[in-house]
Structure 1
Amino acid sequence: MDFTPTGEQAAAAELAARIFGDLSTHERLSAAGTGSDAGLWKELCSAGLVAAVADTGLLGLVLMLEEQGRTTAQVPFAASCVYGLLALTAHGSPEQRERLLPGIADGTVVVTGAVPGPGVRSASGTLTGVLPAVPWLRDATHVLVADDRRRLWLVRTAEAAGEPVELTAPWSAGRLTLAGTPGEALGGPGAYEDLLATARTAFAGLQAGVCAGSLARAVEHTNAREQFGRPLAARQGVQLRAADAYMDTEAIRVTAYEAAWRRDEGLPYVTHSLTAAWWASEAGQRVVHTGQHLHGGAGADLGHPVHRHFLWGRQLDAYLGGGGEVLQELGESIVDGEAGA
């Protein structure tokens, strides 16, 4: 395994860090409320970062999503790259790729995902069901939906009924109602499993950044804040909590890197994506709790920047399925693999 970024991956991550750092400020995040930052999204697409994922692969995307997570930037970057660009590149027909990929690259086409989509039924190319909370639905032109037989369908949001809903994190979410809504089939056997593993890996990378950002804020706060004439960071209890959070963050990062690298190399990676998802879910919520706790009373302030990391960390925990459920699926996957071997 070699997780050393290529020159192209490193350059994309560096550019992403600069754009997110410059534009995803506390003031802009406050002004965006629970919606997305349209100006930041335009800047990312103009810089070619969405299009770059086709060349940098999943590992390159994970590196860029780390930078998004550090600043909790409110843009549909992860969703449109995973459910749009990577899904179409891997499983779309030549006609679908020609028609949709240019718009995804320049940001005029935004794809989000409802995968898995419990209760969605398909018949003769139409879909029926209700998806109560689809992240970034309010930004999306298309939604990638999985039916109850694990087939993928691309749905235009203009042809479905959607209404805003609020999640724990400000992910511009909505409720999607499908009532005989036309869907466009995407991919064949194995596409659902590959997409789900790709999404888990990417969002684990996003969680690594969220945790790194939370911890960085906690370190800055505890070094600046003094109690009885000494910085809080000088206290052993604070150091131990921060050290545990650092190790958890590194575990999320390295497991996400491994899963992404294996996908890019064409190696089996489903169980590795589950491992990354488990660390992101289980350890992620520990880290953001620590980040908030080390801020003391300030961490409970809903307007404090560290509170955004807490909300994102808890939302990603839920989005990835929760540690217990992911661990059960990982165990079953290992047992099934051993039985097949």
Structure 2
Amino acid sequence: MFQAAAREFAENEIGPHVTAMDGEGVFRHDLIEKFFAQGFMAIEVPERLGGSGGSFFMSILAIEEFSRVDASAGVVIDVQNTLVNNALMRWGTEEQKLNYLPGLARDTVGAYALSEPNSGSDAFALETRAREDGDHFVLNGRKLWITNAKEAGLFIVFATVNRELGYKGITAFLVPRSGTPGFAVGKKEDKLGIRASSTCELILEDCRVPRANVLGDIGKGYKVAIETLNEGRIGIAGQMVGVAEGALAHALRYAQERKQFGKPIADFQAVQFQLARLATETEAARLMAYNAARLKDARQPFLKEAAMAKYFASEVAERVASECVEVYGGYGFTKDYPAEKYLRDSKIGKIYEGTSFMQLQTIAKVLLGR
């Protein structure tokens, strides 16, 4: 029932605006307001704090269904649910939860600020510094590729309190956009895909953050970052499954409408086999994402399964979207038809929240017990 409701909402509320948002590179604020109103921005947050009181699995279902219509919409709720809300619920103090989760459930978009210009896959080569100053920390540095940054009112920012300690100096901070001196959102990137989703740099210049806003323990930010991203990867798997499903649905529809040699191209065995293979791969990716989410909800080990799901779903989404363009032929290469957007949107799956190579490295380490 929840998945059907998410699909209906996505098709009816998001669908009519997808082309315009992609072209303009802007996500409609009124849609985000509807996401909040329908509970899609705080699926796991307890009801006592204003959330829906659902499960992680439900978050993955919503991300999948939104991404089936528009991957930009999928990543808006993905970052909110699987990264920001999850990190705060797991690592936040009771006071922090009371201060921030009701807002994140009601009207505040969240963002997760780990990446930097010189710190991508090597996530812990952070250059952003946090210096203690009485009951505050003073942050200086830049963050890059921060999803939802344009709309966000709360940021989880990672900085190092002592670079000589390596990853053991990294600390997570809750940084509200409003009322935080020295904090600014910079340039919005002009991207290939997920264009409506904002991706911006953050600029921290003597940014003062209260000690009470440290998320988790000082020097344990690496643990907050990695364990939260392990969960977030399942969200990206769900997003890529949605992209594959959306592309495949369009290809199936078009193959039955487009006629060549006097009959629909879906009557040709070559096209039938192509569609059957893509559907099989999409179903396999979907089940892998669901299995990883199920394990997470059951509090069972899921590190390997999450990496596998993200890796495979990203591969499948790109392949399905590419072959969807081919089903459309020359029309698929134009912006007048939906195929090319799914292909552009699919590419990010292999890159963010851990590249495909990083997923393979994680899988190998678990398999080899290293």
Query: The TM-score by the shorter chain falls in which range?
Result: 0.7 to 0.9
Please list the CA deviations of residues 18-40 of structure 1 after superposition, one character each: whole Å capped at 9, or x if unmatched. 111101224x1233221112222
Residue number in structure 1 paired with 2:85: 85
Q: Deviations over 1:301-339 (max 9, x none)?
A: 13422222112111222214332332123212432xx25
CA deviation after TM superposition for structure 1 residue 74, in Å: 4.0
- Selected match of 2:40 from 49, 53, 64: 49
Q: Distance in 1 between the 2:189 and 2:36 partners?
A: 26
1:235 is aligned, of 263, 268, 272, to 268
Whether the aligned pair in 2 keeps the contact of 1:167 and 1:315 (CA below 8 Å) is no
- Alpha-carbon distance, 1:200 to partner: 0.4
* Pair 1:44–1:327, CA change in 2 (3 A): same
Tell me the equivalent position of 2:216: 187
Query: 1:88 Cα deviation (Å)?
Result: 1.2
CA contact (8 A) 2:83 2:231 kept: no
Q: Could you list the per-position Cα deviations for residues 153-193 of structure 1 after superposition, in whole angstroms to 9, with x for gaps in the alignment? A: 22234542322112222122112223333453212453222
Mapped contact 1:37–1:74 kept (Cα < 8 A): no
Q: Could you give the per-residue CA deviations for residues 43-93 of structure 1, whole angstroms, max 9, x where no partner exists?
A: 121122323333222111001111101100644211111232222112111
Matched, 1:323 2:343: no
> What amino acid is the match of 2:140?
T
Question: Which residue identity does 2:228 align to in structure 1?
Answer: L
Is 1:113 the equivalent of 2:104?
Answer: no
Distance 1:185 1:302 in 2: 46
Q: Distance in 2 between matches of 1:248 and 1:40?
A: 32
Equivalent position of 1:154 in the other structure? 174
Q: Give 1:173-252 correspondences, 5 Å limit.
A: 173-183=199-209, 184-188=213-217, 189=220, 190-252=223-285
**Which among 246, 251, 260 is matched to residue 293 of structure 2?**
260
Aligned length: 325
* Pair 1:143 & 2:128 matched: no
For 1:79 and 1:120, locate their aligned partners in 2 and report how far apart those are by CA, in whole Å.
23
Q: Which contiguous aligned blocks of 4+ residues in structure 1 show a shift greater than 6 angstroms?
A: none
Question: Gaps spanning 5+ residues in structure 1: where?
Answer: 1-10
| CA 236–179 in structure 1, closer or farther in 2 if over 3 Å, else same | farther
- The residue that corresponds to 2:2 in the other structure is 12
Please give the secondary structure, in 2, of the residue aligned with 1:205. Answer: helix
For normalisation by structure 1, the TM-score amounts to: 0.88
**Cα–Cα, structure 1 residues 181 and 250, in superposed 2: closer, same or farther, change >3 Å?**
farther
Deviates most, 197-206 or 37-46: 37-46
Separation in 2 of the partners of 1:223 and 1:330? 40
Taking only the aligned residue pairs, the percentage that are identical comes to 24
Unaligned runs of 5+ in 2: 46-52, 120-125, 161-166
* Structure 2 partner of 1:29: 18
**Matching residue of 2:50:** none
CA displacement, residues 119-147 of structure 1 (integer Å, 9 cap, x when unaligned): 34332233333233222211111222334
Distance 2:228 2:91 in 1: 9
TM-score by length of structure 2 reads 0.81
Measured on the aligned residues, the alpha-carbon RMSD in Å equals 2.1
Kept after mapping to 2: 8 A contact 1:284/1:313: yes
Structure (1 or 2) with the larger CA radius of gyration: 2
| Contact kept in structure 2, 1:110 and 1:141, CA below 8 Å | yes
Inter-CA distance 53–292: structure 2 relative to 1 (3 Å threshold): farther
Measured in 1, the distance between the counterparts of 2:336 and 2:190 equals 17
Amino acid aligned to 1:177: I
Alignment partner, residue 101 of structure 2: 101
Match of 1:137, SS?
coil
Provide the secondary structure at the position in 2 that maps to 1:175: strand
Tell me the amino acid that sits aligned with residue 84 of structure 1. Answer: V
Quote the residue 1:122 is aligned against: 129
- Asked whether the equivalents of residues 109 and 142 of structure 1 are also in contact (C-alpha less than 8 Å), the reply is yes
DSSP-derived class of the 1:153 partner:
strand
Match of 2:122 in 1: none
Residue of structure 2 in register with 1:269 after alignment: 302
Q: C-alpha separation between the residues in 2 aligned to 1:51 and 1:132?
A: 25
- Specify which of 19, 31, 47 is matched with residue 40 of structure 1: 31
Change (3 A) 1:300 1:182: farther
**Amino acid corresponding to residue 69 of structure 1 in structure 2:** S
Equivalent residues of 1:115, 1:196 under 8 A apart: no
Instruction: Give the letter aligned to residue 153 of structure 2.
Output: T
